[in-house]
């Protein structure tokens, strides 16, 4: 019989922690979990779910415009930020309740308070202390804001969902997927948007053609994209917030959103005190089974910064529970994980970028098509779509798929199975496409546009 209060205690009730807790309980473990915020984590409460609802809301502006090209007469359209926020909040409340019900139905004991390690097997929960044979850290990440004069006048991505009013003028600082998504959201809702990024193209880490197309399309949609520059300081005045650039230029906006990355949420958890190894940026160091340097303490999700995506955290949490409590060792393979950017236009990608493939794999062939989506032949919009395949020369295995354009994430999800399974270009070519679709380009491109090696 265990001498601990719980077989497993999970600190953090986000997607990864909740999945691990439920699966472990299903294997017969006695499980407790704590959460100092709302159950559901970054994705459900202040991340991908409310953000994608915002993307849907923002896209109606273009849909109304495009309808005219198809014979529709569209009347005056007005957007109400308060009505949208109320609808969004109601949906997040519903999902929060669903997650709480999932834990209750699984027999997991929920503590709605902060958890802190005070010993190798001890967790302080407010005024109470519990013990556990195994501990899982699933506290996710938090926004990172730089230290510069006036940074207190800026907001982070967590704060956007609770703004009382829509700002007329917004400066979005950053060039990653969160920055690009919010730039598109505010632009679609009618705000004047300036996006500022110190790099030479948006979406660092993505394929170079994806970066080029997204940067150009955001500019074409009316977003002022300022590259290779940065903010020196912020100052509040009677007209709004002054954004002082490094080159001395000053612009005034109503809101400054910093989307310059996230860092592991480990402050004050007591990890170092019990011997858990962490990187300088706070990342918990784990092995392929998600075990930390302390053999009974594990970590999953963004707090490990392996791949910061909700489905990855869920997969890691499930694999951990099967390994530790299900008698089935399940190391997590992070190769060929698909991802999406819900920018406007959206991005879907899986596998190696062209540059990374050349560096890590060797000789490759590149198949690529850029075209105007069929929808816009009548809408009149000049937006371009990109479809790209990266193929290993030696065995013709498809090692990268990159799409920018309507429904890109939906298309890539299916093709990710093919890439993960190691299918070849010939097997792609032997698959008959669905016509007329954009996705058929992935099985009809016959000649490489360039080769490396």
Q: Catalytic positions, please?
A: 435
Of 203, 175, 169, 202, which Cα lies nearest the Cα of 187?
169
Bridge-partner residues for 143, per DSSP? Answer: 262
Burial of 419 from C-beta contacts in 10 A (0-12 / 13-18 / 19+): buried
Residues contacting 296, CB < 8 A, separation 6+: 120, 121, 133, 134, 135
Separation CA 447–CA 333 (nearest Å):
32
């Amino acid at each position: 019989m265990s001498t601990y209060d719980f077989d497993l205690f999970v600190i953090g009730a986000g997607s990864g922690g909740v999945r691990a807790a439920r699966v472990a309980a299903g294997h017969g473990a006695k499980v407790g979990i704590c959460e100092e915020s709302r159950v559901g984590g970054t994705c459900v409460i202040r991340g991908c779910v409310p953000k994608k609802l915002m993307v849907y809301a923002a896209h109606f502006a273009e849909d109304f415009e495009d309808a005219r090209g198809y014979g529709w007469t569209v009347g005056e359209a007005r957007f109400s930020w308060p009505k949208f926020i109320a609808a969004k909040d109601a949906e997040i409340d519903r999902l929060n309740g669903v997650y709480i019900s999932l834990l209750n139905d699984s027999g997991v004991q929920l503590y709605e308070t902060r958890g802190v390690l005070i010993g190798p097997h001890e967790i302080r929960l407010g005024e109470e202390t519990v013990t556990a044979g195994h501990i899982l850290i699933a506290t996710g990440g938090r926004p990172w804001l730089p230290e510069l004069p006036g940074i207190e006048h800026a907001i982070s991505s967590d704060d956007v969902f609770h703004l009382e009013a829509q700002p007329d003028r917004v400066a979005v600082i950053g060039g990653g997927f969160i920055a690009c998504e919010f730039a598109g959201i505010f632009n679609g809702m009618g705000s004047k948007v300036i996006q500022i990024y110190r790099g030479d193209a948006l979406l660092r880490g993505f394929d170079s053609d994806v970066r080029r197309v997204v940067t150009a399309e955001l500019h074409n949609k009316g977003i002022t994209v300022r590259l290779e520059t940065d903010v020196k300081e912020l100052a509040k005045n009677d007209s709004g917030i002054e954004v002082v650039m490094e080159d001395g230029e000053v612009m005034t906006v109503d809101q400054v959103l910093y989307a310059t990355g996230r860092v592991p949420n480990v402050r004050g958890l007591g990890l170092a005190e019990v011997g858990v190894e962490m990187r300088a940026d706070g990342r918990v160091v784990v092995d392929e089974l998600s075990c930390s340097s302390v053999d009974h303490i594990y970590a999953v999700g963004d707090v490990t910064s392996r791949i910061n995506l909700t489905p990855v955290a869920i997969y890691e949490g499930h694999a951990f529970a099967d390994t530790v409590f299900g008698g089935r060792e399940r190391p997590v393979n992070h190769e060929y994980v698909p991802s999406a950017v819900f920018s406007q236009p959206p991005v879907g990608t899986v596998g190696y970028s062209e540059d990374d493939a050349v560096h890590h794999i060797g000789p490759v062939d590149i198949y690529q098509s850029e075209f105007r989506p069929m929808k816009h032949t009548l809408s009149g919009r000049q937006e371009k779509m990109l479809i790209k395949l990266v193929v290993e020369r030696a065995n013709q295995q498809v090692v990268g798929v990159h799409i920018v354009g309507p429904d890109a994430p939906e298309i890539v999800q299916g093709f990710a199975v093919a890439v993960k399974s190691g299918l070849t270009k010939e097997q792609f070519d032997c698959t008959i496409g669905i016509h007329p679709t954009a996705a058929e380009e992935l099985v009809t491109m016959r000649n490489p546009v360039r080769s490396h090696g």
